[in-house]
Amino acid sequence: MPDNLFGGLDFGTSGARISIINIHKKLVYSNAVPYQYSFKNPNSWINSCEKLLNSLPIDVKNNLDKLAISGTSGTLTASNSKGEPIGEAIPYDQACNENKFLIESLTSGEDHLRTPYSSLAKALKLIDKYGTNILLRHQSDWITGWFLKDWTHGEEGNNLKLGWDLINESWPKGYLNTAWQKCLPKILKSGKIIGQVHSGLAESFNLNKKLILISGTTDSNANLIATGLGKEDGLTVLGTTIVVKKIIDNPIKEKGITTHRVNGAWICGGASNAGCGILSKFFSDYEIKELSRQINTSKKTSLNLLPLNSRGERFPINNSNLEPILGPRPVSDSLYLHALFEGLATIELKGWEKLQELTGSMPNKIITVGGGSKNPQWRKIREKIINIPIVSCKKTTSYGTALLAINAKQ
């Protein structure tokens, strides 16, 4: 009899990836596709999802038992009661400054929500635009709803930036009796069984009709699951943005910091608006690879760049008006790439110093995942600036999401 198979779908900034594992947690299939439209367009997410499902081998479709979905943390979309998207989603790195005083009145003692990057700020902007007869769902939760044709639920980790309290397992008191409370999802813990894939969708993609959907997680939490992070370790995700995370003893509430609960452990971290996204504005992947080989990592450039992807920063400082510093640009492309790597490594260091300030310790080693983890010159520059040993992990976000599916419980 063929193995039962378990799937993880991850939706990032530039595209989607699927990983299929067997009962022994061995990767048996993976695939990735870019978005056809803008990242902000939810139809991009579904279009890429359909391509990945259509490309699955027939034996994988027949034996796919459970599926979990991860997505970018803090990307929020509005839909009607049937789950149909209304306009564009507001991405994780977009600041919404419109409702500052209302946010303060709603979030007494909840400083981590009092930032224009919070999902609450995004939610209020969407409500101002579309009214209160909408559903507010984060990327992972909305796509999970698409599989079920039921958008009732949301996973706890994806909804922390919207205000969900992990300790009290409730929304803030200030949300009670608001006209928009009905827009919020019913919250489930990560890794819980939600229900079977919609029969019509299963039929159209020739999927196992008993395929079970599992409440997912954020992309960085899926990375953490993939790495098997230890208590003395730190995790850096070098994707379009830089994310740093570590295991802590007690939850923390502070602007720019998110505290999650993953596999029973408290995880604290933050996400910068800087990362690989800035590199792709200046160089192709091929150019980055070739120019990196020309970098002398034993030397330091005299350039002090602040390579934010755009105006505004979430972490290690929270300032929606912070401007990138991307010049002066030297004649040498390899020197400029070197300086961008240094600037990104300095932001990462400040991230770890911020977590040290809050938790009392630095990690003994840093495990790195994401596209940037494959660059050996960047790793050497990071080790020099951060002064902590760094190792790369090749396991993908979607693999971590598949592990969530295999360990799912009622």
What is the rounded CA–CA span in Å between residue 379 and residue 341?
Answer: 9
- Going along the chain from its start, the domains and CATH numbers come out as 5-219+398-406 (3.30.420.40), 229-393 (3.30.420.40)
Give 40-89 pLDDT, tens digit per residue: 999 999 999 999 999 999 999 999 999 999 999 899 999 999 999 999 99
Give Cα 21 to chain centroid, integer Å. Answer: 21
CA dihedral sign of residues 162, 167, 169, 175 = negative
The yes-or-no verdict on residue 1 having pLDDT over 90 is no
pLDDT reported for residue 2: 60
The yes-or-no verdict on residue 3 having pLDDT over 50 is yes
pLDDT reported for residue 262: 83
Tell me the sheet residues that pair with 295: none
Give 204-247 pLDDT, tens digit per residue: 999 999 999 999 999 989 989 999 898 999 999 998 899 999 99
Assessment of whether the complete model's pTM goes beyond 0.85: yes
The Cβ of residue 129 has, within 10 Å, a number of other Cβ atoms equal to 12
**Angle, helix 42-55 to helix 139-148, in steps of 10 degrees:** 50
Amino acid type, 318: N
Arithmetic mean of pLDDT over the chain? 93
For 158, half-sphere exposure in the C-beta direction (CA atoms, 13 angstrom radius) is 33
255-269, 314-328, 381-395: range with lowest mean pLDDT: 255-269
The yes-or-no verdict on residue 410 having pLDDT over 70 is no
Give 6-40 pLDDT, tens digit per residue: 999 999 988 999 999 999 999 999 999 999 999 99
Nearest to 225 by CA among 8, 78, 385: 8
What is the rounded CA–CA span in Å between residue 10 and residue 7?
Answer: 10
> pLDDT exceeding 70 applies to what percent of the chain?
99
Give 141-184 pLDDT, tens digit per residue: 999 999 999 999 999 999 999 999 988 999 999 998 899 999 99
Give Cα 214 to chain centroid, integer Å. Answer: 17
